[in-house]
Structure formats: structure tokens, C-alpha cells
Structure 1
Amino acid sequence: MSAIECRNLSKYYGDVRGIEDVSFAVQNGEVFGFLGPNGAGKTTAIRTLLGFLSPTSGGATLLGNDAADPVESRRARERTGYLPGDPGLDRDRTAKAFLDHQAALRGASSREDLVDRFGLDESRRIAELSRGNRQKVALVAAFMHDPDLLLLDEPTSGLDPLLQEEFAALVRERVDDGASVLLSSHVLGEVAALCDRVGVLREGHLVAVESVSDLRSRGGKQVRVRVAEGVDRDDFEVRGIMNLRVGETVSFTWTGEYDDLIDLLSGYTVLDLDVVDAPLEEAFMTFYDGDVPGPTGSGGGESSGSDAAGSGAVGSGGEGR
């Protein structure tokens, strides 16, 4: 039994598509990433999986429980840690009072350790906390009952780099203990560092499910070459070359076969050659060329209001779904 099984799941808001025909599975002990810019459908998918939204069609199970059945969904949530993209914390309570309430509902076996690790001051009112400190409260609440499954929507939003590293270490520890994780992000570095596989969402459609290594390979290689002869730009206007820049050094992204690249360069006297992996951003953007299958209509849905955390964010501002 998989930790999550999602079968042709669709959610429409009237005529506006949130997600459509989304199918994937998260295996036990796996960190699965939802990758896509704000508005791609990540939050809609997570909230539908949790039973907070009723699917328009299709279905899903969490820890073997039917996500659309109120009793089974509640049973699954008892064993699930959920971090919303924009945690709706009671601003009039102290962090301690909020966590006390959450502990009474689900337990808090790891609370003390987590409060210490994240340097959280529980005595302060939530209204007085910065965005990053509110995120700490939400993280402690999601992890402190040692759940079997974690659904984390933009989890590092507002955290400084050191706390982002602490969060990553915490995820790895929980997976080592047998937990499974669905992590939604538009921060490519975060996904690459933590996830085993990635589902790429575009305008409500799951356009690919790949390992992180396979996703990297889609971006090809960045090539910088210096040759003795003058360069005719037309010689490099060939299939497999993207982002061509011709000057004293010729640079481009190569997405073809290595033999073809060697054949191309064999016509020159190569003085210097540098070939490295292309940035993950380029691999990701290959999924954002061309048309999206299925009905038209995007946007709308509930706003996650999440901020980009760190560098390498995909897309711009806008509201998440």
C-alpha cells in the first residue's frame, strides 16, 4: 500500500480549473515533490487529498483511507502532519497556547525537541511574531506528533538559510524513521536537495513525474568552448543547441547526443572546453513550452499566499493554488 494514491483527481471551481486528471503515488518512505510556479495547482491538490475540498471527479487515498470519505479522511489526518502554505494561526493566542491545543488533539511527543531546534519562543503572542517565527510554530505543530505522513506546502517560506537547513535535516530524519512526505514548492534547490521524485504541475495538469536526476538530465549541459578559428554562427544553429551566445567564447546549452556535439566541434581547433550540468531551472522550463493538454481555463482557486523562499524560485509573484 502506498502512502498516497491519487487517481485521475480533478477539482474545478465552477468553470475554472484547479487541477485536472492528476494521477500519481507516493511510496512509503519517499519524499515526493510537487514542483510548479504559484498558481500551478499545488495547494488545490494537497487540500483535496486532505479532504478539505471535495473532488469534482477522481479519487485518492491517504495511508489507505479514502480521502473523500469523511470518517476515513479524519482517520488519515490523525496520522498526518499538515503545513499549509499560509498557516491560519490564532493571532490572539501565544505560541504555547496554540501548540497546547494542537497537542491535545493529536499528541506532542517531539514538541520539546522541535521548539529547541527551531529556537521558538513559545511565550510570545502569534500576532507579535515575524513571518519566519510564525512558520516555526506551524512546523512544530505539523511534526510534533511524529506523523506517518507529512504534507508540506511551501514549508521553508520565511525561514532563514540556517533554519532551512535544519528543516531539511528534520525531513531526512523523519523519512529514516519511516515517514512519507509530499512537499510542495516552487524553490528548485529545495526540491533537488530533498525529493526522490518530482511531479511537475502546470496549470492544473501533472505534466511529468520524474526522478530528480532525470529532471536534471532534461536540462542538458552547459557548454563553453574557445576555438582558434573565427566562428560562423550559422554552424551552431543546429538541433540540440539552445541559448547560443557567440563571441570570443562560444557558449550554449546542449540537449543532444554527445557524439553529435563532438562531430560539431571536430571542425574547429578547440583551445578550451568546459561542459557542466545545466541549472535545474532550465530543466524545469522544458515543461513550460508548448500547449497544455485538456480543457482551457486556469487561475482562480484558493490563494496560498506563500512567498518565494530563497533563490531559484520558479515563476513570479501571483497567487498560488
Structure 2
Amino acid sequence: MSPAIELVDVTKRYGAHHAVRGVSLTVEPGTVFGLIGPNGAGKTTTLRMLLDIIRPTSGTARVLGRSPRDGGPALRRRIGYVPGELRLEGRVRGRSLLRHYARISGPVAPGTIDALAERLGLDLNRPVRTLSKGNKQKLGLIQAFMHRPELLVLDEPTSGLDPLVQREFLSMVREARANGQAVLLSSHVLSEIQQTADQVAVLSSGRIVAEGDVSSLRLGRVRHVRARIAGTEEGVRTTLQRVPALRELAIHPADTSLHVSATIDGDIDPLVKALAALRVLDLDLESRDLEESVLQLYGPSEGREEVRRA
């Protein structure tokens, strides 16, 4: 069985600006592939080249065994797509709009549209122009999933969705994978990638700077630490500096205690053991957002020749 997506040394250049620089990746059927990275990294450009919305300057792209440029409507009907900037307007009701999309995309099994709308909590009888951003996003998800395409290309698909709907969306992605569909998911939400993706590529400045699974790329291991600790500054600093993964340690006196902030990149157990030797009055531990994690671990890719593969 051929790959659902195969990019080989694909580049997109606008004049002197390189939006994508020699990207190569493969997405197999029945897998979820996560594409992550900071804003401006080239994620949306990469996805649009797969749909022939824009065309690469150089390199080779194949989608479901066909060139996007030559595949035409027949290829596009085999793909479900949610753009990063979904624009839906008009007086037409949601149900009528989805019926229109169904005539374009191909057969939709009876009851599928209503079942998806119920899962996502969307009223299909409301005019599209009256829907909130989140409800328009639900409409976009339904049109992408409803004809059970062989490939789903999803660009920031949970933008505007509340946490309960995000959870239902992740269930839909897992079901698509179980049905043998391929999913290419671009996201800024690291938890989405952690819960669904089989493989991940990290883009920075148009290049893939790391590729593997989420755990091997250590994206969830960079966290902020904030604490209020009783004791002397010298004693607290000496204790915490023994934690090998602790970075950016800052200690500031405040009344009768010390405010401590740091970043930990790695195993948290040594930090817990170090804190156990101190009198901790308050503690807050939070994951860095995706962009911080990517830049902390890999930095800008300008001039980088090697691609790290986990």
C-alpha cells in the first residue's frame, strides 16, 4: 500500500523568502501524523501544497498516490480539509451548506451529518452567518469528516472549540485512524498531538528540525516551576542547583519567604526530592506552551544542516 502523503525535498519560495525549505515526510494510511512548530514555521504552507492551493517551487509531492497538481477534483474528493482560517458566511442554514458540500465531495452515508452534529453540539438549522467562531469550526469539521475520506488534512482544527468539544474531536480522529484513514494534523495544542499522533515532525523556519514520536522529542518535558519557600537564599539556591535539569533559576526575597522561579527540562523526580528537603509554602508547575517548548529544545533552524530523528 502506497503512502497517503509523500513529500520529498519540497521547497516553497516567495522571491528571496523561503517559506518551506527542503521538507521531506511520509504519512502512512491508518496513522495520525502531527505537524507542529512556532507561528511562521511553514506548517500551513506545507498543508496548502498538498491540496494544490499553492504549488511548490521545487521538490516532489504525492497525495494518495497522485500528484496534487494533476489529481484534480477526483483526488480532492478523497480528502477532507479544514483550513487554518475557516471563513463561512451567508444566509444559508448549516444543513443546506453541508448538503451542498456533500454533492461536491461525494456520497455521505445517511444519518452521518446529523450524528456528527449531535456529537459536536451543533444546531444545523441556524443560518451560517449567525454562528459563533466555534460553531463555524464545528461546521468545518463536519464537512471534512462526513464523507469518510481516505485522508484528513486538518490545520489548527480545534481553534475556537471548548474543551468538551475538543475531546470529542480527538475521539473522531482516533476513530478515523481505526478505520484506516490517514490524518495530517497541524496544531499549536501539544496535548492534541500527545493524545493522537503516531509520529510528529517539528518545523522551524521552514525546515523539519526533529521527527519522531512525542515522547522521544521531549516536547512535554519543558515546564515552568514557581514556588514560595521558607529559608535562606543561599540554602535554597544550593539545594536547587543540585537538580541537573533545572534552568533559569531565579530567587527573590519576599517578606518572610523566597519567591523561586525556574524551568525544568527533563525528569521531575530530582526536583521533587530536592523540594522535600525544603519548607515549601506554595508550588506551581505548568507546561510551557508549544512554541516555547519547540524553541527551548531546538531553537531557530536557520543554517541547520542536520535533521534530528528520534
**What is the rounded CA distance, in whole Å, between the counterparts of 1:59 and 1:88 in structure 2?**
30
For the 8 Å contact 2:95–2:124, the answer to whether it is kept is yes
Any idea what the Cα deviations from partners look like across 1:93-148, whole Å, max 9, x if unmatched?
Answer: 22122111111122222222112222322222211111111111111100000111
Out of 289, 295, 298, the position equivalent to 2:299 is 289
**What is the rounded CA distance, in whole Å, between the counterparts of 2:204 and 2:55 in structure 1?**
21
- Any stretches of 5+ residues in structure 1 without a counterpart? 296-321
The structure-2 alpha-carbon separation of the partners of 1:254 and 1:160, relative to structure 1 and needing over 3 Å to count, comes to closer
In the other structure, the counterpart of 1:58 is 59
**What is the rounded CA distance, in whole Å, between the counterparts of 1:44 and 1:162 in structure 2?**
29
Please give the secondary structure, in 2, of the residue aligned with 1:65: coil
Pairing 1:126-137 to 2, within 5 Å after superposition: 126-137=128-139
**What is the rounded CA distance, in whole Å, between the counterparts of 2:122 and 2:220 in structure 1?**
41
Percent identity over the alignment? 39
Please give the secondary structure, in 2, of the residue aligned with 1:97: helix
For the 8 Å contact 1:33–1:191, the answer to whether it is kept is yes
The structure-2 alpha-carbon separation of the partners of 1:94 and 1:256, relative to structure 1 and needing over 3 Å to count, comes to closer
TM-score after normalising by structure 1: 0.76
Residue 218 of structure 1, CA deviation: 7.5
**What is the rounded CA distance, in whole Å, between the counterparts of 2:6 and 2:21 in structure 1?**
15
Out of 195, 198, 203, the position equivalent to 1:196 is 198
- Which structure is higher in RCO with an 8 Å CA cutoff and minimum separation 6? 1
Are 1:279 and 2:283 matched, yes or no? no
Residue 249 of structure 1, CA deviation: 8.7
For the 8 Å contact 2:80–2:149, the answer to whether it is kept is yes
Residue 5 of structure 1, CA deviation: 1.0
- Any stretches of 5+ residues in structure 2 without a counterpart? 253-257, 306-310
Pairing 1:147-296 to 2, within 5 Å after superposition: 147-216=149-218, 219=221, 230-231=234-235, 233=237, 236=241, 241-246=246-251, 252-255=262-265, 270=277, 279=287, 281=289, 283-287=293-297, 289-290=299-300, 292-293=302-303
TM superposition outliers: structure 1 runs of 4+ over 4 Å: 220-224, 226-230, 232-235, 237-240, 246-258, 269-273
State the one-letter code of the partner of 1:103: A
Are 1:108 and 2:112 matched, yes or no? no
State the one-letter code of the partner of 1:148: E
The structure-2 alpha-carbon separation of the partners of 1:115 and 1:206, relative to structure 1 and needing over 3 Å to count, comes to same
Please give the secondary structure, in 1, of the residue aligned with 2:34: strand
For the 8 Å contact 2:221–2:266, the answer to whether it is kept is no
State the one-letter code of the partner of 2:107: G
**What is the rounded CA distance, in whole Å, between the counterparts of 1:52 and 1:64 in structure 2?**
18
In the other structure, the counterpart of 1:299 is none
In the other structure, the counterpart of 2:98 is 99
Residue 56 of structure 1, CA deviation: 0.3
In the other structure, the counterpart of 1:46 is 47
**What is the rounded CA distance, in whole Å, between the counterparts of 1:218 and 1:39 in structure 2?**
21
In the other structure, the counterpart of 1:117 is 119
Any idea what the Cα deviations from partners look like across 1:58-117, whole Å, max 9, x if unmatched?
Answer: 11111111223x2x2543322111011122334232212211111112222222211222
TM-score after normalising by structure 2: 0.78
For the 8 Å contact 2:236–2:278, the answer to whether it is kept is no
Q: Size of the alignment, in residue pairs?
A: 289
Say which is worse superposed, 239-248 or 36-45, in terms of deviation: 239-248
For the 8 Å contact 2:9–2:58, the answer to whether it is kept is yes
